[in-house]
Amino acid sequence: MDKILYFECLSGISGDMTIGALLDLGADVEEFKNELGKLNLNGYHLHINKKSKNGIFGTKFDVILDSDHIHDHDHTHDHDHTHDHDHTHDHNHSHSHDRDYGMIKELILTSELNENVKDISIKIFDEVAKAEAKIHNTTMEAVHFHEVGAIDSIVDIVGVAILVDMLGINEIYASPLHVGTGFVKCDHGKIPVPAPATLEILRGIPVYSKGIRSELVTPTGAAIIKVLAKDFIDRPEMVIDTIGYGIATKDLEIANLLRVNLAKKKRKIKSGC
């Protein structure tokens, strides 16, 4: 039987929530870390812990930077933080530790990761870069990722690609996306939720808001699910094997988590002649 994944994005989606949910399905943590180690990327370590939201336990995944310039707050771009919007900036700015889109692509392509992981990773980064280029009226090649954002984004995006490959998934589906509302702070001041880059990525995808004033879908989360999901539908007919929960940081009026169902597609039984 085909292995399928169904993403329930009832509280949105972000990169760290996706990795948390996929690890929570039972993927081998050490194998995951070993695969991530194939990237020539330093300056961070991972926190993977069991946490709960509204009494539901799942896996919380955080990328912690080793650098001296870390502030006191949490440096994951969880979907209730605004770091995703600090990840990219107009090409007119200059920072000594930025990574441009080409550098990130090269980092992935020259790694020892397998071709499937590379392919998924590049497709996801393409979506982010395309959206940022459109919003900032520039080219994909000119899009820069701040050092903090670059490490977060690379680990989240490549990490998701690794886990999808490890789990041997044949097809992926997702629910319509709950995007939230309100405003968030970024380099350029307060911007609306969904963020412009997020909304650009989500063109053609069914979205809704229930009035929760929080950023529920990040640009990284939007790009991940756009590339992975074959379709955005209500729960399909399937036989569920395992359920994984990716836990977010912020407490909302709804359980702030991503639920992923690992299932088998029900085969149609052919009748005999």
Those residues whose C-beta lies under 8 Å from the C-beta of residue 109, and which sit 6 or more positions away, are 118, 122
Per-residue pLDDT, 127: 96
What is this structure's pTM? 0.88
- In 4-114, alpha helices (H): 15-24, 29-36, 83-86, 101-109
Q: What is the pLDDT of residues 175-221, one digit of tens each?
A: 999 999 999 988 778 999 999 999 999 999 999 999 999 999 999 99
* Least trusted range by pLDDT, from 20-24, 31-35, 96-100, 111-115: 96-100
Per-residue pLDDT, 270: 57
* 124-134 as b/e: b if 16+ CB within 10 A: bbebbbbbbbe
Residue 267: pLDDT band with limits 50, 70, 90? low
Bridge partners of residue 259, in order along the sequence: 8, 245
Tokens of 155: 């680990």
Q: What is the pLDDT of residues 113-142, one digit of tens each?
A: 999 999 999 999 999 999 999 999 999 988
Residue 252 confidence (pLDDT) above 70: yes
* DSSP at 110: T
Per-residue pLDDT, 265: 81
Tokens of 171: 């097809």
Residue 52: pLDDT band with limits 50, 70, 90? very high
Distance of CA 60 to the CA centre of its chain: 13
When pLDDT is averaged across residues 101-120 and rounded to a whole number, the result is 96
> If phi over 0 gives left and psi between -120 and 50 gives alpha, with beta otherwise, what is residue 74?
beta
